[in-house]
Each structure stands twice: as structure tokens, then as C-alpha cells.
Amino acid sequence: QGNYDLVGLNWPVFFIRDPFMGPDNIRSQQRNPKSGLIDYNAWFDFLGNVPESQHAGLMLLSDHATPVGWRFMSGYGCHTFRWTNTSGQGVFIKYHWRSKQGTKEFTHEEAVAMCGEDPDFAKRDLWQHIEKGGDARWTMFVQVLTPEDLASGKLDFDPFDVTKVWPRNKFPMQEVGELVLNRNPEDYHRDVEQAAFSPGSLVPGIELSPDTLLQWRAFFYRDAQYHRLGSANIHQIPVNCPFMARFHSPDNYAGTMRIDGNVSSKPTYFPNSYHNNKPTTSGAPGFLPQAEEVPMQVATNVLSRKSYYLHEGSPTEYNQVRELYQRVLSPQKREELHSNTARLLKHADAIVQKNYLIQLHAIDPGYATAIYDLLPEHNGYTREEIAEGAKSAHLVGKNPQFFSAGKGASFMGLPI
């Protein structure tokens, strides 16, 4: 029915949930615009001013962020998606891709050595393994959340917040199938560089959720691909062409890179009087009812900048990352997290160190203390100032004007 592109990461959460912060998040991780150097100051300054980024930030600074190649890491759809059926019923789901090879992680020392000895290690490992006749496999799981779950009023987390996970004890993993990677590209430019992935590439039955960052990505990823590849006709490039689809109704005609008959003499508009107005394999425009999205109420704050995120401006922002730090990470993994963080944080300005440690203290005082003790200097701030700042860490960067409406109002159209 078409090409479906699933956006994701090798950890299950992202740094921000507000789409307007997307460019800021990316720029904070880019090189300094003046010096061209890696900018640790910007890294930690952003994390220190965005409370919801701590979940992904912890994973970024742990050994989870240095997998031993692509074969030995799992994948996650991160966002919440919606599956619907022909009866107009739908459920919300989260994707998980569990590596059948298992997961392995480099320590900091191993990662540094590998970067110097073989910067192409991950690519080389996967390529050579497949060239020798091997394959890489991932088991696909989903978590399912029903409309009844939403209506119950018992959820203590926001299911459409990409900075949060769904507890597996409440929403168990359900096995769906398997992804097998067993063939290498024949030409890297044709098959990889020209691939134009976009979360907006959907098929009937799979839809977007009320996650605003996902909705934003569905638009701007495709727009970015138009710019990167130089044409709106990217669907004609073989690696992007939905050649298996029974029906295809593109919105783009003529322009650069148009290499076929441009639907010949058929109308390039819809509706028209000359054919049955159904999409065809020849690309004539039309409408396919079964491809229409199932109706869904998206938000209650119409034409408003008010947040509908459950944890905005609340100490509950740290509940899940606190659980990860205290109960999921082993003592050894916590020590590695501390040393990885201090090794980079020492390059940041004192005010940036202080603000970041305030966020960590709000998660767990021991988290901040362990890193504080590993830093070579503490100019301009004290432990006491960090502890005091942590009391209002959840309000950093937040404007009360944009907080959710509160008790007696609604969350995603449901009472809260």
C-alpha cells in the first residue's frame, strides 16, 4: 500500500516535546558557530534549562549511547503512533525493535580507542557480516494503549509525551514480527544518500497521534528532503518509489528530476470529469477513502499556546528518569554515567555546570553529588546552592502563562 517510514532512536525517549524547540535542540549539539569546535557549553546549557530533556540526556551520557555497532543495539519508535481498522476503531501504540544479536556497549575508553583505530567500525561490522552471508535481526514488539485506558483517568504519565516511556508492567510488550537485514546496498549514493525518509510517509491503518513533535516532524522532514535532494519529485528516485503500491496519487508534477511522461495527457488536478477520480498506478490524482484518517480529537486548547502536557511545570517531570537512575541502572552503570558526564561537563562554564547539576539534584541528590565530586573545580557555586536551586528545577525555562489549564479542565478531551 505504500512506503512507511518509522522515525526512531536507539533509546526510547527524545530531548524535547515542544516542536518549536526542535531547532534549538539540534543547534545546541552542533559545533560552535565562531570556533567550529565541539561546544560542550551549549550541550549542557540546553540540558540545564530544559527539565524534560533529562531522561534522554541521561541516556546520551551513559554507555547506552556507545553501542558496539549497529547489530548490537535495539531501536525504538519513541513517538506514539495510532493503528486503526476499517471499522474506524483505533489504538495507540509504541514500537520497539529488540536486537536478536543482543546488546553490547563500549565503555568510554573503548569508544575513544575505536574512534581512533577504526572510525568506520559500525558500518564495517554490519557490511562485512552481511557480505559473508550473515544477517542482522530485530524482533518487533508493540505496546498498546486503548481509548478505554485513556478514559480511565488512571494514567500517571502523558502517553503522547515523547520524553516519557510507557511502563511495561502496565502496557506489556507484544511480539508482532521480525525485521531481517540481509542485503547490502549495491550503490551507496543511489540506495543510501538518496533515501528520503519522512515520518509523513504513512500507509492506511497507521496514523499519527496527538504528539505535536511527531506531527511537526511529519511535515518538516519531507520539506528538508526536498531541499537536500533538490526536487519535489523525490518519489521518482528508485529507493523512494512506492513501486509495490496498488495506487499512487502524488501531489507533485513537472519540475526538476521529472523523468517520466508526467502522467501524459491525464488531468493533473482533482476532482475532474475524465476518469473515476481514484488513484491509479500511473500516478493520476484521485482519492482513496480507505486511506483517509480515522477521526480523532487532537486537543482541547484550540488556538492556544497553553501546554496540554501533563508534566509541564511539575515535579513529576523527573519521575521516570529518577526510576531509571535509581532502579534500572546498576551501580556500575551509574559510576560510568557519572564519569562520562564529569569528563565532558568540566569543559563548560561554571554557570552552566551549576544549572545542569541543579537538574540532576532534582532527579537524585546522589546523582549531582557524584558528578560534583568528580569535577576538578567548582568556581562560582556550592553544593548548598545546587540543593536550593533543585527545589524549583522543574520550573526552569517554563512560563506559567503556558501551563496546562489545571484541575477541572481536560487532558486530551478527558477529565483530569
Query: Which DSSP letter does residue 295 get?
Result: P
Query: What is the reported pLDDT for 302?
Result: 45
Q: State pLDDT tens for residues 175-233.
A: 999 999 999 999 999 999 999 999 999 888 999 998 989 999 999 999 999 999 988 88
Query: What is the reported pLDDT for 249?
Result: 62
| HSE-up of residue 307 (Cα within 13 Å, Cβ side) | 21
The C-alpha atoms of residue 301 and residue 17 are separated, in whole angstroms, by: 17
Cβ 50 vs Cβ 321: under 8 Å: no
Query: What is the reported pLDDT for 304?
Result: 46
> Which residue from 54, 29, 298 is spatially nearest to 164, judged by alpha carbons?
54
The C-alpha atoms of residue 253 and residue 265 are separated, in whole angstroms, by: 12
The C-alpha atoms of residue 308 and residue 298 are separated, in whole angstroms, by: 10
Cβ 262 vs Cβ 254: under 8 Å: yes
Per the annotation, binding residues for heme are 221
Q: State pLDDT tens for residues 251-281.
A: 666 767 776 666 667 777 777 777 766 665 5
The one-letter code for the residue type at 35 is: S
Query: What is the reported pLDDT for 416?
Result: 44
Q: State pLDDT tens for residues 316-371.
A: 999 999 999 999 999 999 999 999 999 999 999 999 999 999 999 999 999 999 99
CATH class for the region spanning 19-243: mainly beta
**Confidence (pTM):** 0.87
Cβ 397 vs Cβ 51: under 8 Å: yes
Query: What is the reported pLDDT for 335?
Result: 97
Query: What is the reported pLDDT for 241?
Result: 84
Query: What is the reported pLDDT for 21?
Result: 92
Query: Which DSSP letter does residue 375 get?
Result: S
Q: State pLDDT tens for residues 86-128.
A: 888 899 999 999 999 999 999 999 999 999 999 999 999 999 9
Grid cell locating 195: 533515501
The C-alpha atoms of residue 282 and residue 249 are separated, in whole angstroms, by: 9
The C-alpha atoms of residue 158 and residue 60 are separated, in whole angstroms, by: 22
Q: Partners of 138 in the beta sheet?
A: 99, 179
The C-alpha atoms of residue 12 and residue 10 are separated, in whole angstroms, by: 7
- For 21, 46, 54, the CA distances from 27, given in Å and listed in that order, are 10, 10, 17
CA geometry: angle at 131 spanning 125 and 134, to 5°?
80
| SS3 of residue 82 by DSSP | strand
Residues of the chain with CATH 2.40.180.10: 19-243
Query: What is the reported pLDDT for 124?
Result: 96
Q: What is the mean pLDDT of residues 235-255?
A: 74
- Name 159's Cβ contacts closer than 8 Å, sequence gap at least 6: 80, 92, 145, 150, 166
Cβ 72 vs Cβ 101: under 8 Å: yes
Query: What is the reported pLDDT for 301?
Result: 46
Q: Exposure string (b/e) for 182-200, b if CB count within 10 Å is 16 or more?
A: eeeeeeeeeeeebebebbb
DSSP string, 203-249: -TTEEE-S-HHHHHHHHHHHHHHHHHHT-S-GGGSTTT--TT-S-B-
Q: State pLDDT tens for residues 278-316.
A: 665 555 666 666 666 666 655 444 444 455 577 888 899
Cβ 285 vs Cβ 20: under 8 Å: no
For residue 271, cis peptide bond before it (omega within 30 degrees of 0)? yes
Query: What is the reported pLDDT for 162?
Result: 95
The C-alpha atoms of residue 357 and residue 45 are separated, in whole angstroms, by: 11
Query: What is the reported pLDDT for 305?
Result: 47
Query: What is the reported pLDDT for 415?
Result: 45
Q: What is the mean pLDDT of residues 379-390?
A: 95
| SS3 of residue 321 by DSSP | helix
Query: What is the reported pLDDT for 295?
Result: 65
Per the annotation, binding residues are 221
Average pLDDT over all residues of the chain: 88
Q: How confident is the model at residue 140 (pLDDT cuts 50, 70, 90)?
A: very high
Q: Where are the alpha helices (DSSP H) in 308-405?
A: 319-323, 331-345, 350-363, 365-374, 383-390
Grid cell locating 18: 515542544
Query: What is the reported pLDDT for 237?
Result: 86
pLDDT greater at residue 406 or residue 173? 173
